[in-house]
Amino acid sequence: MIDENATANWFSKPGDSIRVIMQQRNISAHDLAESFEDGLDAVRGLIDGSRQIDGPTASTLSAMLGATAKFWLKRQENFDIAVDRAVSQVQESGQEELLLRLPAPGPKARGKLSLERRAAELRRRLVFFNVPDAQSWAGRYGRLVGETDYRTSKTYASKEDATLLWLRRGELEADMVQTRVWSAENLLDRLREIRKLSMIRHPQLFLPKLKTLCAEAGVALVVVKAPDGCRASGAIRMVDPDKAMLLLSFRYKRDDQFWFTVFHEIGHLVLHKANTFVDGDALPGDADRESEANEFAAECVIPPLRESEFQRIKPERDDIVRFSVSIGVAPGLTVGQMQHRGMVEPNKLNYLKRTWDWSQINPATV
């Protein structure tokens, strides 16, 4: 029997229906975006609930996804009513202050808020995190640190709010990525092809291929630039029972750091799925798990069978390039490992690494 009191404030975004139909009909976010003047921004807004379905939007959805325009308008109306009900129940429960302290995208509200603005800010947070109350938020995000592995610089302190916003935006981006059912075995089967992508110079060329390989193994690979205060370079999380997210920030914008982060996160996915995403007991700072993921990543760069040869490399350009080509990775990755292991100084041979800026990265993220 369903407990009506427990589900009274539950709501479902129209974007949930949109995602299901897109998956069923094999319609990609890019396919749907072509029908909107503002492209992927429109699809993002519909998926995350921030964009209202009006008459023209309802007609577009009807043409692209099926059902009538009236259905989509009613779907929006029911959603609005449900969210308004959730806001009222939160206010009556005394949870309002707790939820208003949560981070939200966009500019922060300043000064004393009117009752109307408080309700709007509360609504914004419930919709953004897709939760109807504080208990639901705590169940889904309250132990986020314990459920999520993310690489972060030890030199800087991460602000929890900024990291949470980055992770949530990653989840929303992952919602738009169609994948097969998550399989660690399938991901490992594609690891050799993933390694080869490090040889490709430009993000616009290797990122689409990387996304495809990951999606074939049930992993939604997404790139979200970290907001101010968030020092994370990568994260993984199970966003659905059969779908994993691999989130990247391109924090260092350098090939050795980028690819090591990719391999590190894949290591967590294939080595620690049960501990990290089912139990949620382990912390991201757990030394054993981090050490295992680092070792996995290092072996992705330098295969164990080539380790002795690697140790004998001379710190010279031609030797490094020759060895890197023979193992199938970019020279910058080999240099990164040499620096990490103290074989060369950190300021030496960096010209062999590829660096990018956001003008090169952004076109590859859409």
Q: What is the CATH number of the domain that holds 43?
A: 1.10.260.40
Residues 257 and 170 occupy one common structural domain: yes
Q: What is the chain's mean pLDDT, rounded? A: 88
Residues 38 and 180 occupy one common structural domain: no
Model confidence at 146: pLDDT above 60: no
Percentage of the chain lying above the pLDDT 90 cut:
70
Model confidence at 280: pLDDT above 90: no
Query: Residue 41: what pLDDT?
Result: 94
Residues 204 and 111 occupy one common structural domain: no
Please give the residue range of the domain that contains residue 190.
145-300+356-365
Higher pLDDT, 363 or 221: 221
Model confidence at 307: pLDDT above 70: yes
For residue range 189-213, what is the model confidence (pLDDT) as tens digits?
999 999 999 999 999 999 999 999 9
Model confidence at 282: pLDDT above 60: no
Q: Is residue 325 part of a domain?
A: no
Residues 58 and 74: their CA atoms lie apart, in Å, by 10
Query: Residue 281: what pLDDT?
Result: 37
Query: Which stretches of the chain are assigned E, i.e. beta strand?
Result: 149-152, 219-223, 232-240, 243-248
User: What average pLDDT does range 347-362 have in this prediction?
Assistant: 95
Q: Is residue 331 part of a domain?
A: no
Residues 217 and 249 occupy one common structural domain: yes
Residues 76 and 100 occupy one common structural domain: yes
Model confidence at 160: pLDDT above 90: no
Tokens, residue 74: 């009613």
Q: What is the largest CA-CA distance in the chain?
A: 71
| Count of the separate structural domains present in the chain | 2
Which among 142, 176, 208 is the end of a domain? 142
User: What average pLDDT does range 128-144 have in this prediction?
Assistant: 84
Residues 97 and 173 occupy one common structural domain: no
Query: Residue 101: what pLDDT?
Result: 86
Query: Residue 249: what pLDDT?
Result: 93
DSSP designation for 158: P
Q: Is residue 290 part of a domain?
A: yes
**3-state SS assignment for residue 151:** strand
For residue range 52-75, what is the model confidence (pLDDT) as tens digits?
999 999 999 999 999 999 999 999
Please report which confidence band the pLDDT of residue 102 belongs to, taking 50, 70 and 90 as the band edges.
confident
Query: Which stretches of 206-268 are assigned E, i.e. beta strand?
Result: 219-223, 232-240, 243-248
Residues 130 and 167 occupy one common structural domain: no
Contacts of 287 by beta carbon, 8 Å cutoff, 6+ apart? none
Tokens, residue 243: 């779908």
User: What average pLDDT does range 178-198 have in this prediction?
Assistant: 96
Q: Is residue 172 part of a domain?
A: yes
Residues 47 and 155 occupy one common structural domain: no
Query: Residue 275: what pLDDT?
Result: 39
Residues 207 and 194: their CA atoms lie apart, in Å, by 10
Higher pLDDT, 352 or 279: 352
Query: Residue 231: what pLDDT?
Result: 84
**3-state SS assignment for residue 149:** strand
- 141-144 CB contacts, 8 Å cutoff, 24+ apart: 141/168, 143/280
Q: Amino acid letter at 309? A: E
Dihedral pair phi/psi, residue 253, rounded to 5°: 55, 40
Number of C-beta neighbours around residue 268 at 10 A: 29
CA nearest to 176, candidates 16, 337, 353, 316: 16
Residues 152 and 190 occupy one common structural domain: yes
